[in-house]
């Protein structure tokens, strides 16, 4: 049996994993007003379920699609209310895998845009790489189109580096989604220091 350092995260084929088959629309956690999940003060939603199985995953319990509690209208209303605070910069989606829980994430991000337009930003973490998302299912591409900043790629234990901004391993990138979609090339976040 391989040890943890030798095992690798899984590599799905395009559309192999679909939220419509996998998501139970469960939430592992919700943390209002934290400082660590992106720029500024943020409200973070941790969705449940991920299939990448990265050795050394920072939130292994949330790989289970049934972990936690169901997403509810009450939780959504609370998140939207919390986001209204002047000092809150935006929403962060993480997990688990937001792109395998698009029912929840699309619903929440669309509501955020309805209520706050672009006065609040949206960050998302994903185990998918940028190029993989571009050729995956329509729901994933729709969610991508609504996000401002994406931290992409699996967590790769041999590339672990705790000094990086907002990433666990050096293969991961902090991507300016809107500028990348417009230019057709990956454009990194312009406030990247390391």
Binding string, 115-154, against ligand SF4, x = CB under 6 A? ------------x--------------------------x
Binding string, 16-55, against ligand SF4, x = CB under 6 A? ----------------------------------x-xxx-
- Options 26, 99, 123, 155; binder of ligand SF4; rule CB under 6 A: 155
Half-sphere exposure of 82 (CA within 13 A, CB side): 20
Q: What is the largest CA-CA distance in the chain?
A: 52
Question: Is the dihedral angle over the CA atoms 12, 139, 181, 82 positive or is it negative?
Answer: negative
Residue nearest ligand SF4, CB atom distance: 127
Binders of ligand SF4 in range 71-100 (CB under 6 A): 95-97
Q: Strand order in 88-94's β-sheet?
A: 69-70, 26-34, 41-47, 88-94, 121-125, 149-152, 173-176
Count of positions (residues) in the chain: 194
- Contacts with ligand SF4, residue ranges (CB under 6 A): 9, 50, 52-54, 57-59, 63, 95-97, 127, 154-155
């Amino acid at each position: 049996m391989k040890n943890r350092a030798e095992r690798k995260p899984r590599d799905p084929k395009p559309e192999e994993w679909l939220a419509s088959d996998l998501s139970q629309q469960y939430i592992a956690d919700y943390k209002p007003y934290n400082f660590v999940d992106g720029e500024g003060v943020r409200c973070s939603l941790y969705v449940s379920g991920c299939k990448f199985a990265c050795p050394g995953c920072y939130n292994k319990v949330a790989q289970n699609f049934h972990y936690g509690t169901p997403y509810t209208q009450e939780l959504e209303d609370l998140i939207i209310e919390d986001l209204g605070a002047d000092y809150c910069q935006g929403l962060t989606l993480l997990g688990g895998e937001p792109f395998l829980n698009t029912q929840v994430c699309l619903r929440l991000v669309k509501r955020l845009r309805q209520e706050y337009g672009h006065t609040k930003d949206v960050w998302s973490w994903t185990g998918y790489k940028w190029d993989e998302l571009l050729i995956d299912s329509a729901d994933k591409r729709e969610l991508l189109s609504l996000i401002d900043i994406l931290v992409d790629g699996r967590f790769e234990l041999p590339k672990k580096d705790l000094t990086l901004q907002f990433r666990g391993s050096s293969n991961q990138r902090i991507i300016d989604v809107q500028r990348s979609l417009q230019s057709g090339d990956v454009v990194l976040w312009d406030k990247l220091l390391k």
